[in-house]
Structure 1
Amino acid sequence: MNYNIQTIIMVPYRLLLLAAVVLHTLHCGIAAGASGPMDVEYSWVFVDYTFPSPQHRESAVKSGRFIPENCVILDVDVFQDMSEQTLYYGATGSTPNSLTKTRVFLTIPRIKPGNPASIAEIVPGNRPNSVLLAPYPNWKANVVSEDKLNCDDTIVSVFRTKIDILGRFWIVDVGTLDQFEITARSVCPPKILIFDLKNGDKLIKMYKFPPSQVKELSLFTNIEVDIRDPKGRNTFAYIADTTAYKLVVYDFKNDDSWVVDQAYFYPYPNKAHFKINGVNFDLMDGVIGLALDPIIKNNRKLFFHSFASTRESWVYTSTLQNKSLFENGLIDGSGRFFVSSEVREVQSSVEVMTNNGVLIYASMDNRLVCWNSQDPFTANKIYTVYESDEDFQFPSGMKLVNDKVWAVSCQLQNHFTTIATDRQSVKYRVLVGRVDELIKGTGCDKRSAAIPKGSQNSFAFNNNKLVVGNRRSVTSSNRQY
């Protein structure tokens, strides 16, 4: 395996390419003048990559290996390391500045032909509208050649990722190509890759899911990571198999996994119809949204919901971690799995939860919504915190990083149909908003409330060290560096 990161060198070609990219992308880069609690940090008309040379890019376009309109940004995650500072030169090239190292990663799953890389890192250029994507961890790892494919050394297709509080980058490779085409096919077994972002992007572990845990229709679209000790050895990952309607639990310590089969992960047939900005489509997708609540008495809840659903469910992670419960397939989930008695207004995609127990989820009517888990899941306890028919079409990825929500909107509805879209319009956006500003003035904001008893079984970062103490727990969805 050769996953060592490659250093990207700015060459004159980059400047030539950027000039061409700007002509057809218009708004690519950092958006200006955004209003409301969510600001558009980056936006693209079409995705473009850091090809080694203009000849490489031209060859990729001519051969069909790069079709810009087929490259869809789906998810985002951010790594901020306070222990490492980066020295760089300002616009004048003369004044050094010391900044916290910040890295922004995106997923671009291979749902259609013509995608040269499925996971990438944003590489800012010398001007606001010069944002390109550098394949992660390098170009070689993202090259899919079906004639001579080495599945151990290749990242085929990634829907969503997770960076945990220790700086470990969890990537789930679904192993499929052209998911939205009739030619969809599995070319490699699904696997987990874990990189260490604090130590030169070293590959910590690769785990291939056993064939018995992968169905013909399986699609691992989301992951949540549950750390239970300061060194991260006792860690579990929960992976959503959206199309086989199951959850897979991965035990990092024992390098083992098992399938959780429950009807709670299934879609609701009467909720499979979607309408987004005038586009109608049907999608019978199961469990997709995952979010962990704070640790209380050494236990916590995993909140989850299906895409074709308007209910929220949850289960204690102690249940999920009990492998013996699920060795014989489907069990009676009553008393172990729970579902809300009331419903959302419309379906939801992804969700996150703060260290204060506030669930923030993406509503499929172009809204961002919050609910405090101290309250019943009822309509009068659910609050809209952001809405935009222009900037928030089909929110598909979301993370909490420090005190901010990072989200991706991708207009994915247009890829379910044959509707032609404006080639000059912005299609992909990364939006950022502060949690406090988003929930301010809503019933989700209970910061003056007392900390629940039993929440002392927690850990967080203090002066760049993981410590245990009497404080509200920090979930793996909410990193503090």
Structure 2
Amino acid sequence: MAKARGRRQLWPAVAPLYHQERYQFTPALQTPAYNQLGALWLPWLLAAGLATTNYQQAPRQGLTELYRWKQVDLQYPSPQEHAAALSSGEFVPANNLPLGLDCWGDRVFLTLPRWKPTGVPVTLATVPRSGGGESPPLRPYPSWAWHRGPGCERLTSVFRVNVDPCGRLWVLDSGLEDVASGSPRQRCPPQLLVFDLATDTLLHRYRLPREQVKEGSLFSNVVVDVRAGRCDDAHAYLADVWRFALVVYRLRDDTSWRVDHPLFFPEPASCRYDVHGLVFRWTDGVFGLGLSPEERGDRTLFFHAMSSGRECAVPASVLRNQSAVDEMGDLFAQLGEPRYPDRAQASASGVDRRGVLFYNLVSRDAVGCWNTRQPRGHVADLQGVVAADGEALRFPNDLKVDHGERQAVWVLSNRLHQFLYAELDPAEHNFRVLTGWADELTRDTVCDPDYVDVPPREDLAPRLVCPV
């Protein structure tokens, strides 16, 4: 994985980001050594004021800033065309916001939905995986022709993409424009496009049937399920964040079906966001999607609503069974406890081959983690924080775990809240691509597969009270 020289390292988080409903100490103290011995001496340290939230964790590598932009620029065929686009208003840098990302080979893919009515000429682009300088211009993908001209054969408004292990880029084109104006327009039907990354040619296009697109739908995320190299039997899971459903697409027979469930809805208490003093309300439903490694012939889809503090799961085999999915609603499960008592909203997520789930904490400027294979399940004291930074991770929006032999985590932060409800300062760096090795990010945290979990001791006090 490319490392950018001279870039800031984002060290693992400090105590204010760690849940405090059960303990009052930092993740640095929650180590295997602590769990074996610490329960004996921590109460005395707390009483003496020695175990404080200022304890500093030993430095270790976190996320690395690969690229950052104050405003994005585009790579036009010539300087003259670039100047003409700026002059005519075809390209308005302030109206362009990177939203989604993924990585394959020597390229990072970025999406730029058409949030504003004008000035966004490109909705999918690439930058080099390394060597692009601090703020490289974005190159339209797969070509300029895919972004120009009327009609719905072009790319309209791409929210997110997903690279599968077969070397294909799955592009979720929402077809929805002008979302930031408050009056979004469904310019074209939502569609999936599959590109061969070896040749950058279109392999397949699928337009969602009208009955699977509701009034006010927004298809904003996609994850692709490929097993044992069977590339022709891929399934894609598409999140309708505004109308609270998944659409399952099966490549083999080019068909799809819509899945509804109450767990796809937001939690009312989590619809209020406070990000650096900017308060707003979102009723966003199912959004974060992460697929577990294949085990015993199946995979688990971990999912959560954007406006929620909880994680949920369902066997992917349930989603893939078109004829019976509506009858198997009891197999959708809400897992354990909320991540945090408040400010627990998470955007995108991804699972590595070890079963570690990474997720973006949009209200905490942080990236969290949870080992899905922990026997105690989804409990608050097994939630870790692998990186936190009030500038570089201000509104971490998208996250991917790549397919490399040694897997890396990729994060895009973009200050979306300011873009929508205030203004981005063109003098500040507003958009960043960050990356780090998955195994390094979780080392010495509660998410490390080698972490030895000792459950909290039961409070014996009530049983020691003498009867009246």
- Rounded to whole Å, the distance in 1 between the matches of 2:266 and 2:132 is 45
Aligned-pair distance for 1:63? 2.8
The correspondence of residues 169-318 of structure 1 with structure 2, limited to 5 A, is 169-198=169-198, 200-318=199-317
Deviation beyond 6 Å, 4+ runs, structure 1: 124-127
| C-alpha contact (below 8 Å) 2:7/2:66 kept by paired residues | no
Residue of structure 1 equivalent to 2:427:
424
Deviates more, 1:208-217 or 1:32-41: 32-41
Task: Give the Å deviation of 1:111.
Answer: 1.0
Check whether the contact 1:123–1:132 (CA below 8 A) recurs between aligned residues.
Answer: no
- Say what the alpha-carbon RMSD is for the aligned residues: 2.0
**TM-score calculated relative to the size of structure 1:** 0.78
Spell out, residue by residue over 1:215-250, the C-alpha distance to the aligned partner (whole angstroms, 9 max, x if none): 121111111111124241111110101011100000
- 1:150: how far off? 2.5
Unmatched tracts of structure 1, length 5 or more? 1-28, 81-101, 450-481
What is the Cα deviation at residue 196 of structure 1? 0.7
Partner of residue 468, structure 1: none
What is the aligned residue count? 389
Q: Could you tell me which residue of structure 1 aligns to residue 332 of structure 2?
A: 337
Whether 2:98 is the aligned partner of 1:73: answer yes
Match of 1:57 in 2: 82
How is 1:366-405 mapped onto 2 (pairs within 5 angstroms)? 366-375=365-374, 376-401=377-402, 402=404, 403-405=407-409
Work out the percentage of aligned pairs sharing the same amino acid: 36
Between the aligned partners of 1:45 and 1:275, the Cα distance in structure 2 is 23
- DSSP-derived class of the 1:180 partner: helix
- Over 3 Å counting, the alpha-carbon distance change for 1:116 and 1:256 in structure 2 is same
- Compared with structure 1, are the counterparts of its residues 125 and 139 closer, same or farther at alpha carbon in structure 2 (3 Å cutoff)? farther
Q: Kindly state the Cα deviation for residue 112 of structure 1 after the two structures are TM-superposed.
A: 1.2
Compute the displacement of 1:382 (Å): 0.7
- Contact kept, 8 Å, 1:163 with 1:170, in 2: the verdict is yes
Amino acid at match of 1:205: H
- Any conservation in 1 of the 2:68–2:135 contact (CA below 8 Å)? no
Measure how far apart 1:30 and its partner are. 5.9
More helix by share: 2
Match of 2:437 in 1: 434
CA shift, 1:341, in A, is 3.1
Q: What's the CA shift for 1:437?
A: 1.3
Alpha-carbon contact 1:31-1:43 (below 8 Å) kept:
no
Gaps of 5+ in 2: 12-61, 453-468
Give the letter for the 2:76 counterpart.
F
Q: How does 1:64-143 map to 2 (within 5 A)?
A: 64-80=89-105, 102-113=106-117, 114-122=119-127, 128-129=133-134, 131-143=136-148
Matching residue's letter, 1:410:
N
Per the alignment, residue 6 of structure 1 pairs with none
Alignment deviations for residues 133-178 of structure 1 (CA, whole Å, 9 cap, x no partner):
11111111112x5xxx2212x0001111001111011001111111
Would the aligned equivalents of 1:123 and 1:134 in 2 still touch at CA under 8 Å? no
2 CA distance for matches of 1:181 and 1:163? 30
User: Which range moves more in the overlay, 436-445 or 308-317?
Assistant: 436-445
Offset of residue 192 of structure 1: 0.5
- Residue by residue over 1:13-53, the C-alpha shift from the partner in whole angstroms, topping out at 9 and shown as x without a partner, is xxxxxxxxxxxxxxxx9673312311100000001101122
Rounded to whole Å, the distance in 2 between the matches of 1:384 and 1:182 is 34
Quick check: 1:245–1:265 contact (8 Å CA) kept in 2?
yes
Q: CA deviation at 1:331?
A: 5.5
Aligned partner of 2:164 in structure 1 is 164
Q: Any idea what SS the aligned residue of 2:324 has?
A: helix
Please list the CA deviations of residues 438-476 of structure 1 after superposition, one character each: whole Å capped at 9, or x if unmatched: 111112112599xxxxxxxxxxxxxxxxxxxxxxxxxxx
Structure 1 position 408 matched with structure 2 position 408:
no
Question: Secondary structure of 1:324's partner?
Answer: coil
What is the CA distance between 1:385 and its match in structure 2? 1.2
> Given the two structures, how large is their TM-score scaled by the length of structure 2?
0.80
CA distance in 2, matches of 1:324, 1:269: 32
Aligned pair in 2 of structure 1 residues 74, 56: CA closer, same or farther (>3 Å)?
same
Structure 1 residues 311 and 74: alpha-carbon distance in aligned structure 2, compared to 1, 3 A threshold: same
Structure having the higher Rg: 2
**Larger % of strand: which?**
1
